[in-house]
Amino acid sequence: MKKSKPENDDSRGPVTLQVIADHAGVTRALVSMALHNSPKVAAATRERIQALARELGYRPNPMVRALMSEVRQRRKRSFQAKLGFVTNLQTADCWLGKKGVYAEYFMGAQQRGRELGYEVEHFWLGEYRANPSRLSDILQARGIPGLLIPPLPQDDRTFDLDLSGFRVVAFGYSLQRSNIHRFCNHHVQTIQDAVEQLVRRGYRHIGIGLGKMEIEQVNYLWLAGLAVARCRFPGLKISFLNTKKVERASFQKWIRRTKPEAVICLGHDTHAWLLELGLRTPEDIGYLHLDCRSDAQISGMYQNTKRLGIAAVELLATLVEGSISSDDGKPRYVMVNSDFHEGSTLRPLPAEA
């Protein structure tokens, strides 16, 4: 029998889950599930218990919540399901076994997925270009409820897979779908910190060796970061490549014409193109890559892509386990900062006075 609500009197002690259960006439476990929005509790019951908890002045103990979270993290979880990692690159295996962005996304997702009880399996959409619905049927038949989608190629952003019925988390901005949860590098911070590193090393004329396609790929956020950098360093000279794609001939012609003291790039061949011109790094020109590896000889910004993979699979697991639809109209955009990697292609920082 449901009991009447007690008066708001601190002398009665804290309002616990058991107190709420006693007044609701239900079990403590049911109260816990209702307060955590468990889909196993009927909506009407859930709303009634939550309303009662508010009336009673229930406040969760953050220390207990943190402790229980740690216990759950340490508890070995049994296998629950498989998640898909769907690429649409030129070939199925061009990224496998290499140290690069896609490999680190996959490695981070696979590692954290196993800790959470999931296997992450790679699927190549290119194998089903003639009939993309075939892949959708295969994923559904195998009971794969969630998909991770890494960035699409700059020159081909087609992705014809029907995503309805799946929980989806994408990396970056290239997948042109609404209501998609996304994990991205904090591009504004990345290029701001890159410029600051160059300024601190005494460079006063910086070349931005990015093509328009590379800028569009990140929703123009490279330009936003550069706008902030210009405000912070008003005396800095910045020269832009201003070509659609970064190609060898136009890049080298631009370097000869503008003669920057240091250049910021994304293309993997741009450093070799500087060497072809007889320019040594860092003796003749500084070179900074916006997406370098953490163990590279090249100086630049490491985008923490493995950490992005870890965080993305955590969110995907939450969506799957909570039966949270991707069509709820409230997509999450999560950004992760880059770290500067010293490398050997920039002059060292001046000694402190």
pLDDT surpassing 90 at residue 63? no
Three-state DSSP class for 124?
strand
Residue type, 308: L
CATH architecture entry for 10-74: Orthogonal Bundle (1.10)
Three-state DSSP class for 289?
strand
pLDDT surpassing 60 at residue 117? yes
CATH class for the domain made up of 81-186+306-339: alpha beta
Per the CB < 8 A criterion, the answer to whether 185 and 221 are in contact is: no
pLDDT surpassing 60 at residue 313? yes
More confident residue, 44 or 97: 44
Q: How many Cα atoms occupy the beta-carbon half-sphere of 201 within 13 Å?
A: 25
What is the arithmetic mean of pLDDT over 283-294? 94
- Domain ranges within the chain, ordered by starting residue: 10-74, 81-186+306-339, 187-302
Given the candidates 3.40.50.970, 3.40.630.40, 3.40.50.880, 3.40.50.2300, the CATH classification of the domain at 187-302 is 3.40.50.2300
Full DSSP string of 132-182: HHHHHHHHHHTT--EEEEPPPPTT--------TTSEEEEESS-S--TT-EE
pLDDT surpassing 90 at residue 94? no
Band the pLDDT of 72: cuts 50, 70, 90. low
Within 10 Å of residue 86's Cβ, how many Cβ atoms?
22
pLDDT surpassing 60 at residue 353? no
Q: How far apart are CA 260 and CA 6, in angstroms?
A: 74
pLDDT mean across residues, the chain: 87
Q: Are domains 10-74 and 187-302 of this chain identical in fold?
A: no
pLDDT surpassing 70 at residue 290? yes
pLDDT of residue 8: 47
What is the arithmetic mean of pLDDT over 223-227? 96
pTM of the model: 0.73
